[in-house]
Structure 1
Amino acid sequence: MTEPSGGSGRPRRPVVVPAVALVLVTALGITALTGGLNEAPDAPPQLGKGSVLDQGLYSTRFVESRVRTERAQTQFDEDKRFVEMVFEVTNRGDGTTLVGVPPAEGKGAFATTFAGSLVKISPKFPSDAGPSAFALAKGGESGQLHPGIKTTVIVRYELKEGQKPPEKITMDVGSFEYAAGFNDPTERWTMVSQDAGESIVPEVKAQVTLPVQEEAAA
């Protein structure tokens, strides 16, 4: 007996599409509709000892990081040891600004001081270690940076007795722009910042790492 025309009469097998492929196709379709894949933000430039950074309001050279001992002035005092970060800073604005101090992590979005632009310093030091900051001026230390003058600035943390200093210091450094405020049309220097949900945080212009130079033996 001959078979009916049109084939062997056996049922055709269904085509099976793997679930992973379906998920991938769906995801790509959604991505295309929403404007493509989101790119990860670029990492800030990595700088080192001797680098110069244009911070807008300041031009800054990262000179070095070192350990320094201040000898006791009287028999009632004690020697003090510090980890110091040394900068050469030029105030590029029209008026005198303050040296300031590094802010608490995640803060400082509205600072205009130089040290206020050091938005994160690693490793983290204990709260009783500082920081303190000052400019070297004729006749001693100063808290001011005058326009157009290259000034040495020291930012430092005190080491406890017997404490070993870190091998390196890494700083997230912000920058400034001359622009009008959100609710004030007056143009002024402000920290370049970004919205981080419920708060405003400084943008990191560069990340600078300095090896900590041990103090020479006396």
Structure 2
Amino acid sequence: MTPPDALRPGVNRSVKPMAVLLGAVTVAYPFLVYAGITRLQPQWLALLLGSLALVRALVARTVFWSAAAAGAVLLAALSAVGNALLPLKLYPVLVNAVFLIVFAVSLSHPPSAIERLARLAEPDLPASGVAYTRRVTQVWCGFFVFNGAVALWSALWASNEVWALYNGLVSYLLMGLLFAGEWLVRRRVRARAEAGVTHG
């Protein structure tokens, strides 16, 4: 999922392949860390995290990824200084926290994050659509709280295998289920609205 300000017009099309590559590396990050645990010192893995975050921030050029990069560089620095693995495992927690802040702030300062995304496809969003997208934004806030909490638990108390499995696979499956569920609900809501207009 991409933060709203990352979808604004004006992004250079030439950076799309790089953005796709960086997205794939970001998704694979937990497995890369897990694969490197037995081969590399945490200091070298910290270099991977810091470099990935900085390059992604430069390519995306959004407030979201700039904030995530700042937090990632801090985690990487803590890992490098102490040669510790835990700060590297906290990166998924950081990403969920930044997403939560972006979506929660948009509820206090409309339009909501999901409304901004919806208006890209439907600029003249009706009042019912605004209310619906606000509720969806609230649902995503709840998801980020849950997902971030499980990511934190997996970093602090679970094995490295469980941490990599949850943050590299299960969390994305849950996100996909939420996307699919919202799409089904949206179809039903729209069908009811169109039926009401027809009968009216």
TM-score by structure 2 length?
0.25
Higher helix share: 2
TM-score by structure 1 length?
0.23
